[in-house]
Structure 1
Amino acid sequence: MKVVILAGGGGTRLFPLSRQDYPKQFLRLQGGKSLLAQTVERFLAVANPADMVVVTNQVYYHHVQTELRLCGALAAHILLEPAARNTAPAIALAARYCADVLGCGDEEVLFVSPSDHLISPVDGFVNAVKQAVEGAGQGKIVTLGVLPEKPETGYGYIQAGAPCHGGFAVTGFTEKPERSVAEAFLRQGNYYWNSGMYAMQIETVFAELKSHAPEIYNGVAESFEQSLARFEQMPSVSIDYAVAEKSDRGIVIPLSLFWSDIGSWDAIFDALTKDEEGNVLAGDCHAIDCHESLLMSNGRLVAGIGLTDTLVVETSDVIVVAQKGHSQKIKSLVEQLRGRGRREASEHPTQFRPWGKYTVLAEAPGYKVKHIVVTPGSQLSLQMHYHRSEHWIVLQGTACVTVDDQTRWIHENESLFVPKTARHRLSNPGKIPLEIIEVQNGSYLGEDDIVRFDDVYGRLSDGTGVCRHPELEPAK
């Protein structure tokens, strides 16, 4: 069995915490570990890291690598999609990768899972995975269906028929029904929430794509290299629409445990621990006469008075206040902000890099102030800027700094000035995180004013500030 984890989505339904450049699979909502790390750790009970394939994109590559390192799964394969094309093309590309690059046979079972769900207990989940793999070995498309607890309208539903291979034959799919329909499903008792997890053999993937989604099949029918080249021409469609809803091979294995796709702030509220008044308080929050509400702070004090059924989420640049039951409209909010050209719609105030992270503290025409954290043993690229100078002040740790032909050590409470067009590099040779304040001055302060000459993380520059990963370069 190979585990295929889909981690390329850039959802915005948890805005402002989740943004396009830092989606929810990397958020740490429970237990101090990201949703992606929790997903990987669940599968460690049934698969070695070397038998896992994480499908993502170039933008999230180093995020994924960092999370794999933190959960001891660096041996997992990272498969980069050339473009965002939904789950059906992603699964097709993963199947071709497993066949051509990993040398898997036609009968190898792929267990496909999203990377951003909460599931417990793990033991019950592992047993269901094993059942699903056994059914998939019989040429079936096996999905895990969650026993519904309420008439949820934000999930898709799977209708179960006659018993089959430890589960039930799938007789139908319904996507996000009206409440009255969801209530009827709950009463009938043979409907399950669609978890988005599937198990199927590689030959089943290709056969079903050939029958029901030939445009996708033709894109991956030959070799992995050709699949990459044709990927952007594939239609953007989910595996549900492309295959599962049309196939007669479907089986659903019931999951009777806690599961949430964390698809809205209402779902976050339902999943997290509450106080005696039914409130979820996360971060620096204080509540007076509040009931059944969520207050979440990511920096500043959030105080609520007399709130009922209210969601309040704070970040350094955005505060969202919503009535419970209306958080599905967050997506519309983000679309409106994006239409107005608002940076907040896509950029997180803290930007993560393979060497650490930075947060913009203040900016205005002519200057920008950042708080930069470099992890121990890491270094930034050797680079230069055409339009800005930089002044670095060390808050914690020791920095090794190269400016043109000179190398210096900068300690706490010391500073260094880097003039425009000077080649420079910052590194942390110490044992603790290096924290610095960076003050930029110049006529243009965009992140694309970076020319890289050397980079240990494989980010290349073409001289215009455009950086690429070498593994995505076309063959020459």
Structure 2
Amino acid sequence: MKNLILCGGSGTRLWPLSRKLMPKQFLKLFNGKSLFQLTIERNIELCDSFIISVNEEQYFLVLDQIEELTIHDSQITAYDSLLTTHSLQFLLETEAKNTAPAIAFASLSVDEDEILFITPADHLIKNSDKYKEAVLKAKELALKGYLVTFGITPTEPNTGYGYIETEDSGNGNHVLSVEKFHEKPDLKTAKQYLELNASHSTPITYLWNSGMFMFKAGVYLEELKRYAPEVYEESLKSFENRQKINDNQIRIKDMKNIPSISIDYAVMEKSKKIKVIKSEFYWSDVGSFDSLVREMAVSNDNENNKAEEIEIDSKNNFYFSDRDKLIATIGLEDFIVIDTNDALLIAKKGQTQQVKEIVNQLKETHNSLLTTHSIVHRPWGTYEVLVEDKGYKIKRIIVKPGKRLSLQKHFHRNEHWIVVSGTAEVTVGNKTFLLRPNESTYIKMGELHRLANPGKIPVILIEAQVGEYVEENDIERVEDDYRRNQQ
């Protein structure tokens, strides 16, 4: 059985923590680990291999997070372990086209009888015994040719989840037939679903749609071809034109003609082969700050929260900052305060689903705030914009050991580099030399240059850019270890 981990999704309901280039599944908010890392750990003993579907912009971020893990507290990294004990494949998508095409690519990449266990990368799941029990039951059904989904018994009238209407006789059978899929309801409808569940007046039961699935690859492709033929045909064309980068990386290009559609719309709401596992493990998609606050309160995880608060006549509030920050409040009750370097969110508890409305407004006015944090992850390390104004920008750059930036040049800016820590290998024009702490160099506009770290510790330097245009797209790469077309 292969675990297909879907790493798409921008997690906009957790803005400003979650951004396009650092969505919620990669935020290390749970005892120093991300939801993606927890997904790997949770499924490594249940599956013999992994397929990771990810936008190509986030591939190196995924790779970094796998390499940070260790298996069973050993000294072997998860990445090395996966390469030796599991097969590991990356499907790199050039465009976001939702879950139905992503699952089609994975299905086309394996034998038709292979069992695929599809799990989003951004879910929090607890109670491993119940989880394993549900997965094994689903595998039995998948082997019989069913498309299996996992339903979660609702604990609240949540409007952020879709619901599955089932017929449950109450005899303890966890394998149920699906009557209907329901979209995310309004609050009144969600309350009605829970009231019907509690009344037991009918066998109809409403479950949360977890977004997890299991089936044979060939069965999924058959149903996709039957109920969403355009999605099937266009996905097949794209897959046939795929670019094999190496043994475990496939780049899916030419995706513009594929309809963007979820597996629910394309297949699950139409197929006659659906079964649902009524699951008893704890599940959350951490889809709002209300749910995130609950989870962080339970885990008592404050490792990444650097906020210090002073409260006057205030209670039942939650404060989070990604940098050392004193937050003082007077007369505040039941509020959530999320502070980042470039944005501040203040929301009333119970209303954080409305963050998506703020995001919609930002698309028109401040789109860059939806894309990147002040700290930006690159395959060679990170950079952080410290100061930016018209005509100049100052960054802190960290280059990981053994990594290097592309050989590049800029047409609208000059750059000054000052090394703070480590030893940097610098190429400027036809000269290559070393810079040590408190040493600097100057790169003229239009001059070829490269920064590398040949040492064993990270190189940290300050870069001052000066010019009429200091945006990231002022770059021409001549050589690049990571085959990027753009920064």
> TM-score with structure 1 length normalisation?
0.89
The 3 A distance-change label for structure 1 pair 280 and 405 is: closer
Partner of 1:196: 211
Counterpart-to-counterpart distance in 1, 2:433 and 2:151: 59
The 3 A distance-change label for structure 1 pair 179 and 459 is: closer
Over the matched positions of the two proteins, sequence identity in percent amounts to 42
Superposed CA RMSD in Å reads 2.3
Indicate whether 1:282 and 2:305 are aligned.
yes
The 3 A distance-change label for structure 1 pair 266 and 281 is: farther
Q: How far 1:230 moved relative to its partner? A: 6.1
Aligned counterpart in structure 2 of residue 268 of structure 1, from 284, 289, 292: 292
SS in 1 for 2:188: helix
Aligned counterpart in structure 2 of residue 52 of structure 1, from 50, 53, 72: 50
Q: Give unmatched runs, 5+ long, in structure 2.
A: 70-77, 198-204, 243-251
Partner of 2:202: none
SS in 2 for 1:303: strand
Show the 5 A alignment for 1:4-19.
4-19=4-19
Q: How far 1:47 moved relative to its partner? A: 1.9
The 3 A distance-change label for structure 1 pair 382 and 140 is: same
Q: How far 1:437 moved relative to its partner? A: 0.9
Partner of 2:154: 148
Partner of 1:254: 278
Counterpart-to-counterpart distance in 2, 1:29 and 1:141: 33
Partner of 2:201: none
Q: How far 1:436 moved relative to its partner? A: 0.9
Counterpart-to-counterpart distance in 2, 1:124 and 1:410: 55
308-317 or 324-333, larger mean C-alpha shift: 324-333
Q: How far 1:221 moved relative to its partner? A: 5.0
Counterpart-to-counterpart distance in 1, 2:388 and 2:445: 19
Counterpart-to-counterpart distance in 2, 1:39 and 1:303: 36
> TM-score with structure 2 length normalisation?
0.87
Counterpart-to-counterpart distance in 1, 2:372 and 2:419: 26
Asked whether the 8 Å contact 2:391–2:469 carries over to 1, the reply is: yes
Show the 5 A alignment for 1:27-426.
27-48=27-48, 51-71=49-69, 72-73=78-79, 75=83, 76-98=88-110, 104=111, 106-161=112-167, 167-189=175-197, 190-221=205-236, 224-226=239-241, 228=252, 231-273=255-297, 282-288=305-311, 289-299=313-323, 300-426=325-451
SS in 1 for 2:256: helix
Asked whether the 8 Å contact 2:238–2:255 carries over to 1, the reply is: no
Q: How far 1:175 moved relative to its partner? A: 1.5
Indicate whether 1:436 and 2:461 are aligned.
yes
Residues 7-58 of structure 1: CA deviation (Å, up to 9, x unaligned)? 122231111111122211111111211211111111112124xx21111112
The 3 A distance-change label for structure 1 pair 401 and 123 is: farther
SS in 2 for 1:437: strand
Counterpart-to-counterpart distance in 1, 2:103 and 2:449: 42
354-363 or 119-128, larger mean C-alpha shift: 119-128
**Counterpart AA for 1:213:** A
259-268 or 300-309, larger mean C-alpha shift: 300-309
Q: How far 1:301 moved relative to its partner? A: 2.4
**Counterpart AA for 2:99:** T
Partner of 1:447: 472
Asked whether the 8 Å contact 2:238–2:254 carries over to 1, the reply is: no
Residues 444-467 of structure 1: CA deviation (Å, up to 9, x unaligned)? 11111111122222224xxxxx46
Partner of 1:101: none
The 3 A distance-change label for structure 1 pair 440 and 280 is: closer
Counterpart-to-counterpart distance in 2, 1:360 and 1:296: 21
The 3 A distance-change label for structure 1 pair 287 and 158 is: farther
SS in 2 for 1:370: strand
Partner of 1:472: none
Asked whether the 8 Å contact 1:281–1:295 carries over to 2, the reply is: no
SS in 2 for 1:130: helix
Counterpart-to-counterpart distance in 2, 1:203 and 1:356: 40
Asked whether the 8 Å contact 1:79–1:94 carries over to 2, the reply is: yes
SS in 1 for 2:140: helix
SS in 1 for 2:28: coil
Asked whether the 8 Å contact 1:273–1:280 carries over to 2, the reply is: no
Asked whether the 8 Å contact 2:55–2:92 carries over to 1, the reply is: yes
State the aligned residue count: 452
Q: How far 1:166 moved relative to its partner? A: 5.1
SS in 1 for 2:9: coil
Counterpart-to-counterpart distance in 2, 1:242 and 1:225: 21
SS in 2 for 1:312: strand
Partner of 1:473: none
The 3 A distance-change label for structure 1 pair 110 and 130 is: same
Q: How far 1:179 moved relative to its partner? A: 2.5
Asked whether the 8 Å contact 2:238–2:253 carries over to 1, the reply is: no
**Counterpart AA for 1:272:** M
The 3 A distance-change label for structure 1 pair 454 and 156 is: same
Q: How far 1:62 moved relative to its partner? A: 1.4
**Counterpart AA for 1:135:** L
Between the two structures, name the one with larger relative contact order (CA 8 Å, sep ≥ 6): 2
**Counterpart AA for 1:3:** N
